[in-house]
Chain A
Amino acid sequence: MKNLKFIIVIIFGILTNSCNLDEDPIFLDQTMYDNPQSAKAALDGIYERLTTYDSMERRYWINNGFSGLFITHRQGNNVNNPHNRNLMALKPVQDLDSERFWRGVYAAIAQANAAIKNISITENPTTSDELLFNDIIGQAYFVRAWAYFDLTRLFKDIPLWTELSDQDNINKAKSLSKEVYAQIISDAEVAASLINGSTGLGYPKQYAPNMLLAKVYMTLATNSELRNESMSEMDYWQMAYDEANKVYGQYSLVSDYSSIFTDSNENNSESIFELQTSQDASNSQMGRNYTPNNYKMSQNFGWLRVNADIFEIHRAMYPNDPRIDATYMYDYTHARTGAPQRTYPAITTRRNVRASHPFLFKFAEKDKTHSNQFNSQNIVVYRYADLLLMLAEISNELQNGQQLSFVTEVLNRVGMTPQVGFYGSQDDFRKAIMNEYRFELIGEGEDSHNNRRRGFDYFLNNTILIHNNNSNPGFKPSVDILLSTDPTETMSLPIPQIEINTNELIDG
């Protein structure tokens, strides 16, 4: 009897040891790409990576800060604060923003690579699922192309990941910028061939990669070291024209310029590539970082100020341009106290940095009662007005006679007529169009690239010296940044040190 008890105890003990050592996590595996619904969620995952703080808020910070057009009071209301002394003065150092931007954009590239790896292309899609899969993968190629284009323009030679990293493949040496451009072109072409509109509203159509290609070719036209030796500058202008022309007429300008920068006119007829942002998607702090101080209820920073001289050039050129009020903010009331808040040009004493430059208002939260740091305004990356100005610039280079019509199309919307420069020589037109990009698109992400696209000398003469020199009569050393004129530091950002530190194949 006693032994029986003992046996029961032992049997109980052994039974409880029957065990399972397999893992059962609560996540999915790569089969998620086989299902249309979850594959679509993976596409949203790619775009979500583009809307993170790192890849979006910091992208605007860097692309604007490094354009020579902006100043900030972030980390100190003085011209010597770290950002003004470094990035904004075109003397970039290793900084957090560019390091995180790098990380953020590469994270999006990795998600695109995951989709490219796991979804197969159907040659002649017929079913709605096949079309959807092709559309998704086409957009993955597009995002990859777009991301590398932004990266290589800022950092030049960079690691070029076209496959998904794995445990044996973590380090990647730098590729020459030229090789990166070749990949961008190839990716954009694939994207243009695959994107078919199946994903619907809010996603780029096949014309987005065409616009991207046009921008790439414009860049290569003026940078001989990056392009195919067998082709000439004019070949590239022509290719740029051909790509841009594919987009022409597929979109239309919205009538009210200021409505582009609101959350009530999103995904409009002018939008070519737009990232979807919602407050509840908890990803956009654009309205926290870039809304003028105390313009709205919750705390915000108003980090980006447009240099006063840039504002003055715009106002002098088109005095009654409605774009001025949509772009800048300098006179408003405190959201909580109602006290007037004025900066230059509403007050002209320019006694400190904050008071001396207007805010960039495009990304601001427009609702003064808005009480949270996250906001809903979408991020419009590419829009049709940009394409029209590109066509004008390209046409001027090709001298095909169409240039003025494109400019006019853009200016008509705001009731302006092309400024005198557009009627002058080819070079006058060039200068005028470079300014026109600013009037229309300042702060929207391309200034830094547009300003540098024609090389250092052009950047020096048309941006840096205009700001630094006597041609800027208002220049005041205590509130205006003296931009660097050193070609070794003004043209690109250093590869982030964290990348150098961790990458076994990059030495600095």
Chain B
Amino acid sequence: MLPTILLSQSKVITGNVTDDTGEGLPGVTIQIKNSPKSGALTDFDGNFKITLSPEDEKVLIFSYLGFKRQEINVSNSSFLKIQLETDATQLDEVVVVGYGSILKKDVTGALVSVKVKDNVANQSFSVDQLLQGRAAGVQVTQNAGSPGSGISVKIRGTNSLRGNNEPLYVIDGVIISSAGEDVLAAGGVGNSGQENQNGLNGINPRDIESIQILKDASATAIYGSRGANGVVLITTKKGEKGKVKMSSFITNSIRSIDKTYDVLDGVGYANYQNELALLNGNNPRFDVGASGVFGVTYDPAGNPTVSDTPAQILNWQDELYRQSFSTKVGFTASGGSDNGNYYISAGFDDQKGIVSNSSLKSTDVRINLNQDLSDKLKLRARVSASFNDTNFAESGDLIGANQSFVRNSILFRPVLTGEIEDFGDDLESGNPYSWVNDFLDVSKEKRYIASIGLTYKLPLKGLTYQIKAGGNIRTKDRRRFYGLTTWQGALGNGALQISTLNAKSYQINNFLRFNRTFNRKHRINATAGITYDVRNVENSIYAVEDFVTTELTIQQPFLASVITQPLRFLKSDQQIFSVLGRLNYTYNNKYILTASFRRDGVSKFAKNNRFGFFPSFALAWRMDNENFIKNLNIFENLKLRAGWGQIGNHGVRAYGTLSDYGINGQLYGTPGNGTSVVLTLNNIANPNLTWETTEQLNLGLDFESKNNRVSGSIDLYDKTTKNLLQNTPIPTSSGFSNILINRGSMSNKGIEVALNFNPISTDDFDLNIGGNIAFNKTRIEELGIPLKDFYIDGVAEQRSYYYGAQISRGQYFRTPVNVFIEGEETSLFYGLQTNGIYQTDDTDIVDGAQPGDVRFVDQNEDGVIDILDRTFIGNPNPDFVYGFNLNFKYKRFTTNLLFNGVYGNDIANGNLIKLNNAEGLQTNISPNAYNNAWRPDAQTNLYPRIGYEVIPNQSLAVSDRIIEDGSFLRLNNVTLSYDIPVDKIKMFERFNIYVAGQNLVTWTSYSGYNPEVSSFLNNGLINGVDWNGAPNAKTFLLGININF
């Protein structure tokens, strides 16, 4: 077409307007500059035609919602090809969803976005900390006292009876192993246990741009067999177009124990022991005088000798816990050009725990690159590496006696005399110092996460193909060394356990995506994909004892001469092959439909049960776009959502369908004291294993007022999990202790409310208050266990039920606390009710008891206290969990406060069994239990007599004397920050300084260290039990953020 100049000197301009993907934009407004009355619109394909009169300025203005306005001088042209640039400030927010992203306004599922503020990210050393208190229905359990210790994140209650209900973590599209993955306990040191550490170490909060939590089935069903516990999608940062931006930060923090147990001091303890000795007909062991406590010895004739040096008196908790100093530094650089961008970061974190040998050191680097290789081909690459060293991250063992550091630190006697022979009795040796001075629990972990994606624009408009491969390599080496003064080391003449983890997972994803709007009324966002997901895990365990010298501690197993656990490899591989798809369709910006499916094949199940199909549907109604709402002029956004879906879970170990005829880790002797390798059958295989399926219904309402002063959402959900996968305890008479089975169903119903108020928002002054609360009710719907007598308040009912797992491996706190009953909430506490103490005048003392003993309620009134007298004594399920935050900004000052809390749950505090009973052992007890103990001449109804024996009743069941209310409200974080004016300093763009406090105040009536119980985190058979849980820490931080 040739340019035509008309005689009238009018000028006709034609052209085509496209978006940044090259697609024609219909309805773009074209105006002639300074002639507001004239103008034109583009047609369906983006074509336009406009006539300029001679007096018109020869400048056209193109504008379209969501795109940047463009002014074009048309003096020398009559045909224009205009590409409008999207305008980030006007564009609809896009959110990341499973295997893709969609416009926020088109979301139909229950999603929560957690925005990560730099100041908060820089204070945190793992991802879970960022989630706490910030999202409705997300309960995070962690312990700040020991960096790197295990964590738990639960979304919408307990979804299954397996125990590991951790959500799926997806980082930039790469699925990361669950938080529960760890090395295995090597054993070989008697009864010792080994608690899990944090499986999310190595994902640096600093690099996180945003976190999306997918809660309902319509959002998570696309993850099929792994979505049942919710999905946490983490997106890391990317660079922005422009010159390089650099930033760095440093935080220094002081951490200290926030609460201790009250125990007898030296004098109190000596008095207790002396009183006890008299009761037992023995000679008193201490002389308590004004100048201190002295040991007493006796010659064979029974004549006492009082030592001339006073005994050493120690408050162990004060001795062992200390203030510690931690430092964290980091640096980032980012930038970009028209064709790509980059983000590079590196950091170093040196965290110290509150026990002197507890620490976490980590170094990490990350490179994120986006590059357009051509018009049609885009590359995205993410690489991160992290190196973690921890020591003593979980405070030793969580079992009984002196084999646990925490227990030892509470109960070890506070008086040390030279006269008492400490060595040689299983209860006496290994004082708490040995855990600090002579014990190492060192983990070294390397983690690499990488992904690379190529997106290719296909000839059909809006259609792209993406191949994305990503992987995660994690290696960990954990070594625990027990020196000669530890209990374990004294037995074995030094003991070393070595466990390694070598985990590799990778995914190969192929996607076809279609993203297009037709006629401005039909918006389609569709994804179809094939993914192959492989996870190979190899663990090894090895343990040795009997060291020729213990000088080299963890470094040289060769110095030990007895191999207590021969080197053994344990493998657990799984493969998942999946086909998936999702369609998100929006009609007229009002009605939205999402449908998705996934078909998963998993190697863990036998051929006939291998494949599962997981569909979901959801509808949403953008009511704010309806005229009757629009006319109200109240809502910026008002959206009603409804969704249904099925999701699965295969979260059991591999090979459960096969009979494991192999090694059990032990050897048999031979004549001549050699060894022979043994083979044993190690499990009961269950070839019928299949999927656990969760069906979830969600109803939600999102709203936002016109001026954005009030916004929030309400969600109601009802989910039912069927074919529950369990590692069920079975009668040990079968020869085995448990079996993997599918059994029963359970439901969770709940309501979640999140509200945000922003009453004042100006450049200088901003106030934002947010809060969330989630009520959840769990019910065991069906168990499939035959009805059996179950006693409630002394009356036998026919119920279907099973008991939880035993707690400790020692004599104390051995019986199960939890019971799982059809028709009830999960894991209720079941045990003996008590009603004070028997007094001398009581006439109804049961057989075997005496005045001063705890009065157990004889529920069935048969005169005997036995297991038939058990009844409900507590409920570990909270009524609700909540969090709220307050953000306040005045000019250059900002203040953020975050609270989180749990209400209405009970905790079984196992530490009280020994602390609150003056049993007459050499362990320490609480001052109340001694001072207020029942005595014939000082009868009380609070604490039993001195010498009261806990074991017989305790070995029937726990009593309600250890059940406590676990509700708490915690001031999780306070941050005060100030932006120092740097306008005149060219070097800096921003200089921010802040102080912060973590865990500063906890309001609770719970007597234990920490109501956020972190014992038995991934054990579905033990819930709400605090057994040697580590103390929590409060932390003060000082931090600086600098942008260049």
How long is the Cα–Cα vector from A77 to B814 in the complex, in angstroms?
22
Binds B, one of A110-118, A209-217, A423-431, A446-454: A110-118
Given the contacts A172-B731, A502-B730, A48 and B666 also touching, CB distance less than 8 Å: yes
- Chain B residue nearest to A503 (CB atoms) is B731
How far does the Cβ of A90 sit from chain B's closest Cβ, in whole Å? 14
**Which of B733, B802, B810 meets A159, CB within 8 Å?**
B733
Residue of B469, B493, B603, B669 most packed against chain A (CB within 10 A): B669
Indicate if A17 sits at the interface (CB-CB under 8 A): yes
The answer to whether residues A293 and B425 also contact, given A21-B601, A161-B734 and a CB cut-off of 8 A, is yes
Given A30-B659, A266-B671: A80 and B733 interface contact (C-beta under 8 Å): no
Q: Which of B903-921 contact A (CB under 8 A)?
A: 920-921
Interface size class of B (residues with CB under 8 A): 35 or more
Q: Which of A9-49 contact B (CB under 8 A)?
A: 9-10, 12-14, 16-17, 19-30, 32, 38, 41-42, 44-49
User: Which of A51, A76, A374 touches B922 (beta carbons < 8 Å)?
Assistant: A76
Contact, CB under 8 Å: A351 / B423: no
Contact status A25-B658, CB under 8 Å: yes
Q: Could you say which residues of chain A place their CB within 8 Å of the CB of B927?
A: none
A176 at the interface (CB under 8 A from B): no
Q: Could you tell me the distance in whole angstroms from the C-beta of A199 to the nearest C-beta in chain B?
A: 11
A279-B562 contact in complex given A16-B532, A30-B659, C-beta closer than 8 Å: yes
Q: Mark B654-695, 1 if CB is under 8 A from A, else 0.
A: 110111111110111111111111111110111110000000
Q: Are A376 and B669 in contact (CB under 8 A)?
A: yes
A26: chain B residues within 8 A (beta carbon): 569-571, 662
* B490 CB–A CB distance under 8 Å: yes
How many angstroms from the CA of A48 to the CA of B670 in the assembled complex? 11
Interface residue A507 (Cβ < 8 Å from any Cβ of B): yes
Does B956 sit within 8 A of A, measured CB to CB? yes
Please state if B492 and A298 are interface contacts (CB–CB under 8 Å). Answer: yes
Quote the shortest CB–CB distance from A200 to chain B (angstroms).
9
Contact with B along A73-85 (1 / 0, CB 8 A): 1111111111001
Given A13-B467, A75-B427, A352-B282, A21 and B678 touching (CB < 8 A)? no
Q: Interface digits, B767-790 against A, CB 8 Å rule (1 contact, 0 not)?
A: 000000000000000000110110
Instruction: Flag B283-317 by CB within 8 Å of A: 1 or 0 each.
Output: 10000000000000010111000000000000000
Q: Please tell me if the beta carbons of B668 and A293 are within 8 angstroms of each other in the complex.
A: no
Residue of B nearest to A160 (CB): B733
Q: Which residues of B contact A49 (CB under 8 A)?
A: 680
Q: Are A507 and B282 in contact (CB under 8 A)?
A: no
In the bound complex, residues from chain A placing their C-beta under 8 Å from that of B283 are: 351
Q: Which of chain B's residues 238-287 have a Cβ closer than 8 Å to chain A?
A: 280-283
Contact B604 A277, beta carbon cutoff 8 Å? no
In contact, A25 and B603 (Cβ under 8 angstroms) = no
Give the contacting residue for B678; candidates A9, A45, A277; CB below 8 A.
A45
Known contacts A32-B661, A279-B673, A282-B188: A294-B423 contact under CB 8 Å: yes
Q: Give the nearest-CB partner of A349 in chain B.
A: B300
Q: Residue of A at shortest CB range from B804?
A: A501
- Closest chain B CB from A169 CB (angstroms): 8
Bound Cα distance from A299 to B603, whole angstroms? 48
Say yes or no for B365: interface residue by CB 8 A criterion: no
Instruction: Give the residue of B301, B530, B575, B921 whose beta carbon is less than 8 angstroms from that of A76.
Output: B921
Interface residue A297 (Cβ < 8 Å from any Cβ of B): yes
- Contact partner of A16 (CB less than 8 A), chosen from B469, B571, B659, is B469
Could you say which of A5, A12, A21, A347 has the most chain B C-beta atoms within 10 Å of its C-beta?
A: A21
B733 with A503: CB separation less than 8 A: yes
Q: Which of B120-128, B141-149, B946-954, B990-998 contacts A (4 or more CB under 8 A)?
A: B946-954
Contact assessment for A20 and B575 in the assembled complex, using a CB-CB cutoff below 8 Å: yes
Given the contacts A276-B668, A478-B280, A27 and B735 also touching, CB distance less than 8 Å: no
* Contact residues, B452-486 vs A (CB, 8 A): 454, 456, 458, 465, 467, 469
A114 in contact with B681 given A76-B427, A294-B423 (CB within 8 Å): yes
Can you name the residue of chain B whose Cβ is closest to the Cβ of A376? Answer: B673
CB 8 Å contact bits of B350-393 with A (1 = contact, 0 = none) = 00000000000000000000000000110000000000000000
Select the stretch in A101-109, A402-410, A413-421 that faces chain B. Answer: A101-109
B955 close to A (CB within 8 Å)? yes
Q: Is the CB of B282 within 8 A of A25?
A: no
Residues A281 and B659 in contact, CB atoms below 8 Å apart? no
Interface size band for A: 35 or more
Q: Which of A9, A159, A266 has the most CB of B within 10 A?
A: A9
Closest to B508 in A: A16
> Given A28-B679, A86-B951, A282-B562: A23 and B280 within 8 A (CB)?
no
CB distance from B951 to the nearest CB of A (A): 4
A349 to B299, CA, bound (A): 10
> Is B729's beta carbon under 8 Å from chain A?
yes
Residues of A close to B411: CB separation below 8 A: none
Docked pose: A107 CA to B573 CA in angstroms: 28
With A29-B659, A51-B669, A78-B920 given, is the CB distance from A170 to B730 under 8 Å?
yes
Closest residue to A53 on the B side, CB-wise? B190
B14 in the interface, Cβ–Cβ < 8 Å? no
With a cutoff of 8 Å between Cβ atoms, the chain B residues found around residue A478 in the complex are 280-282
Please judge, given known A-B contacts A23-B604, A76-B427, A93-B951, whether A282 and B667 are in contact too, CB under 8 Å.
Answer: yes
Tell me if A242 is interfacial: C-beta within 8 Å of chain B: no
Partner of A22, one of B603, B671, B684, B811: B603
Interface contact B732-A172, CB-CB below 8 Å? no
Closest to B731 in A: A503
Please choose the segment from B150-158, B338-346, B736-744 that sits at the chain A interface, where 4 or more of its residues have CB less than 8 A away: B736-744
Least Cβ–Cβ distance between B688 and chain A, in angstroms: 6
**Cβ contact of A24, chosen from B573, B660, B732, cutoff 8 A:** B573
Q: Let me know if B282 and A508 touch, CB within 8 A.
A: no
Given contacts A103-B737, A158-B733, contact A94 B955 (CB under 8 A): yes
- Scan residues 441-475 of chain A and give those whose CB is less than 8 A from a CB of chain B: none
Q: How far apart are the CA atoms of A29 and B672 in the complex, in Å?
A: 31
Please report which residues of chain A, range 238-289, place their CB below 8 angstroms from some CB of chain B when the two chains form the complex. Answer: 263, 266-267, 275-285, 288
Minimum C-beta distance from A481 to chain B (A): 13
B residues 582-630 in Cβ contact with A at 8 Å? 601-604, 610
CA A302 to CA B426, docked complex, whole Å: 10
Q: Which residues on the A side are within 8 Å of B655 (C-beta)?
A: 23, 25, 27
Q: Give Cα distance in the complex from A28 to B683, angstroms.
A: 12
- Taking CB as reference atom, which chain A residue is nearest B814? A96
Given contacts A17-B510, A51-B668, A167-B739, whether A372 and B546 have CB atoms under 8 Å apart is: yes
Pair B546/A371 contact, Cβ less than 8 Å: yes
Contact between chains at A6 and B456 (CB < 8 Å): yes
The residue in chain B whose Cβ has the minimal distance to the Cβ of A107 is: B735
Contact B669 A281 (CB under 8 A): yes
In the bound assembly, the distance between CA atoms of A9 and B803 in angstroms comes to: 54
Residue among B282, B570, B575, B661 making CB contact with A19, cutoff 8 Å: B575
A499 CB within 8 Å of chain B: yes
What's the Cα separation between A371 and B545 when bound, in Å? 10
Closest beta carbon of chain A to B690's beta carbon, Å: 12
Q: Are B678 and A44 in contact (CB under 8 A)?
A: yes
The docked-state distance in angstroms from the alpha carbon of A371 to that of B283 is 34
For residue B210, CB closer than 8 A to chain A, the reply is: no
Most buried by B among A78, A114, A275, A373: A373
**B788-824, CB under 8 A of A: which get 1 and which 0?**
1100000000000011001001110011100000000
Query: Can you list 12 contacts pairing A with B, beta carbon distance less than 8 Å?
Result: A5-B377, A14-B530, A23-B604, A80-B920, A171-B731, A277-B673, A283-B667, A297-B493, A299-B429, A299-B491, A301-B425, A502-B732
Listed from nearest, the 7 A-B pairs whose CB atoms lie closest are: A110-B735, A27-B662, A478-B281, A276-B669, A278-B669, A299-B490, A45-B680
Residues of B within 8 A of A (CB): 188, 190, 280-283, 298, 300-302, 376-377, 423-427, 429, 454, 456, 458, 465, 467, 469, 487, 490-493, 508, 510, 530-532, 534, 545-546, 561-565, 569-571, 573, 575, 577, 601-604, 610, 654-655, 657-664, 666-682, 684-688, 729-737, 739, 741, 785-786, 788-789, 802-803, 806, 809-811, 814-816, 867-868, 920-922, 947, 949, 951-952, 955-956
